[in-house]
């Protein structure tokens, strides 16, 4: 079954063809990131206008790359929510129209649940990674992105139950805000991760709210701690690299601890991680090491599939359909 998927929840415009819910035949992403960088964040009006320009183009390229035509499409999938309203309308309107014209089923997909599923996807002609043989459901899902930090219990791919989430800032949002404090530009995740790798010994520590007894996260206080530290030390100077490292260590530590604790509490030994922050090198290394020590199998998507993309939407749609 070939499903043509669309993702337009934020500033990316993406179209993808996925075969049988796993093999990515094409995944085309157009981004308007450069248009937003000078503002230090996403401007919804700019995002939706660019998506109107891009969506026909990415669709045509996705079909060409997959070696298919519209008549070969068995179903159409689209991100239903959450996301920027104007951006979602562009993708949903296009997908609805295409589904109607082709007389093919339309599958509406939750954007966050699709991020969890991204680790199950394989690239075109990629050797099977024994995901079905080794990575069994039920699983715990961790989504860490610019808008969300959530823990899911996944009984199967039509049953996602949230049992933990951020009470204020999402992890990716905290990265962007700290990058702004340190004047590092937007987006903040990649540059903070890069600077953090340059630090071996660090005497700076930032607290991250533990929220003991819950599966929830809180990153607002951590961000404020970074702000107060930089203000106190502005005159005498401070190491941007060390501040970035201390911030990242605090975020990664709480994400790893809560994710592992959730798996043990739920008696689940499979962990799926998705979202933009899942591309963070320290998180990938630390979580993999901690999970392996407790016999938990952890699955990250490939780096391109950590970001917003239509392949994850088309892949999950296969199971929903």
Determine the Cα–Cα distance for residues 251 and 258; give it in Å rounded to an integer.
Answer: 11
Whether 90 contacts 57, CB under 8 Å: no
Determine the Cα–Cα distance for residues 165 and 215; give it in Å rounded to an integer.
Answer: 7
Do 228 and 288 reside in the same domain of the chain? yes
Do 158 and 295 reside in the same domain of the chain? yes
Question: What is the mean predicted confidence (pLDDT) over 151-176?
Answer: 94
Whether 307 contacts 27, CB under 8 Å: no
Do 288 and 150 reside in the same domain of the chain? yes
Query: Domain for residue 149, yes or no?
Result: yes
Instruction: Give the pLDDT confidence of 82-95 residue by residue, as tens digits.
Output: 999 999 999 999 99
Whether 66 contacts 2, CB under 8 Å: yes
Do 292 and 145 reside in the same domain of the chain? yes
Do 111 and 172 reside in the same domain of the chain? no
Determine the Cα–Cα distance for residues 188 and 180; give it in Å rounded to an integer.
Answer: 8
Determine the Cα–Cα distance for residues 279 and 276; give it in Å rounded to an integer.
Answer: 6
3-state secondary structure of 300: coil
Do 152 and 256 reside in the same domain of the chain? yes
Query: Domain for residue 134, yes or no?
Result: no
Query: Domain for residue 129, yes or no?
Result: no
Do 233 and 311 reside in the same domain of the chain? no
Greatest Cα-to-Cα distance within the chain, rounded to the nearest angstrom? 67
Query: Domain for residue 127, yes or no?
Result: no
Radius of gyration of the chain (CA): 20
- The pLDDT of residue 135 is 59
Residue 132 has pLDDT above 50, yes or no: no
What letter does residue 124 receive in the DSSP assignment?
T
Q: 15 φ, ψ to 5°? A: -135, 145
Percentage of the chain beyond pLDDT 90 is 87
Query: Domain for residue 219, yes or no?
Result: yes
Which domain does 92 fall in, by range? 2-121+305-320
Query: Domain for residue 130, yes or no?
Result: no
Averaged confidence pLDDT in the chain: 93
3-state secondary structure of 158: coil
Instruction: Give the pLDDT confidence of 188-214 residue by residue, as tens digits.
Output: 999 999 999 999 999 999 999 899 999
Query: Domain for residue 128, yes or no?
Result: no
Do 215 and 288 reside in the same domain of the chain? yes
Do 272 and 147 reside in the same domain of the chain? yes
Determine the Cα–Cα distance for residues 40 and 238; give it in Å rounded to an integer.
Answer: 23
Do 94 and 114 reside in the same domain of the chain? yes
Instruction: Give the pLDDT confidence of 208-255 residue by residue, as tens digits.
Output: 989 999 999 999 999 999 999 999 999 999 999 999 999 999 999 999
Residue 318 has pLDDT above 70, yes or no: yes
Domain total of the chain: 2
Confidence category of residue 133, pLDDT binned at 50, 70, 90 = very low
Determine the Cα–Cα distance for residues 253 and 209; give it in Å rounded to an integer.
Answer: 11
Whether 17 contacts 25, CB under 8 Å: yes
Question: What is the mean predicted confidence (pLDDT) over 115-123?
Answer: 91
Q: What percent helix, strand, coil does the chain show, rounded to 5?
A: 50, 20, 30
Do 107 and 150 reside in the same domain of the chain? no
Q: How many CB atoms lie under 10 A from the CB of residue 10? A: 27
Do 285 and 309 reside in the same domain of the chain? no
Query: Domain for residue 196, yes or no?
Result: yes
Burial of 161 (0-12, 13-18, 19+ CB in 10 A): exposed
Q: Which of 98, 117, 100, 102 is nearest to 58 (CA)?
A: 98
- The pLDDT of residue 124 is 66
Mean pLDDT lowest among 17-21, 34-38, 264-268, 305-309: 34-38
Q: In this structure, what CATH number is given to the domain that contains residue 14?
A: 3.30.420.40
Instruction: Give the pLDDT confidence of 168-177 residue by residue, as tens digits.
Output: 999 999 999 9
Whether 300 contacts 131, CB under 8 Å: no
What letter does residue 174 receive in the DSSP assignment?
H
């Amino acid at each position: 079954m070939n499903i043509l998927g669309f993702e337009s929840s934020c500033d990316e415009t993406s179209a993808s063809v996925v075969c049988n819910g796993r093999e990515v035949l094409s995944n085309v992403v157009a981004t308007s990131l450069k248009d937003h960088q000078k503002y230090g964040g996403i401007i919804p009006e700019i995002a939706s206008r660019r998506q109107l320009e891009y969506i026909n183009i990415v669709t045509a390229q996705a079909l060409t790359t997959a070696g298919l035509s519209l008549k070969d499409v068995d179903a159409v999938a689209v991100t239903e929510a959450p996301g920027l309203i104007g951006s979602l309308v562009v993708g949903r309107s296009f997908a609805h129209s295409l589904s109607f014209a082709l007389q093919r089923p339309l599958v509406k997909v939750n954007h966050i649940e699709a991020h969890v599923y991204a680790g199950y996807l394989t690239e075109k002609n990629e050797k099977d990674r024994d995901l079905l043989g080794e990575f069994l459901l039920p699983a715990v899902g961790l989504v860490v992105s610019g808008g969300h930090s959530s823990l899911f219990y996944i009984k199967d791919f039509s049953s996602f139950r949230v049992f933990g989430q951020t009470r204020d800032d999402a992890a990716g949002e905290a990265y962007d805000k700290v990058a702004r404090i340190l004047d590092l530009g937007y987006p903040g995740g990649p540059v903070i991760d890069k600077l953090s790798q340059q630090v071996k010994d660090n005497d700076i520590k930032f607290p991250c709210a533990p929220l003991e007894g819950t599966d929830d996260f809180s990153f607002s206080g951590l961000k404020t701690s970074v702000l107060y530290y930089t203000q106190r030390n502005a005159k005498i100077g401070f190491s941007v690299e060390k501040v970035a490292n201390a911030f990242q260590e605090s975020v990664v530590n709480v994400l790893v601890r809560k994710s592992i604790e959730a798996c043990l509490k739920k008696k689940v030994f499979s962990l799926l991680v998705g979202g933009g922050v899942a591309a963070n090198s320290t998180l990938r290394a630390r979580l993999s090491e901690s999970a392996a020590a407790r016999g938990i199998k952890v699955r990250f998507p490939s780096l391109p599939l950590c970001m917003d993309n239509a392949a994850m939407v088309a892949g999950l749609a296969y199971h929903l359909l």
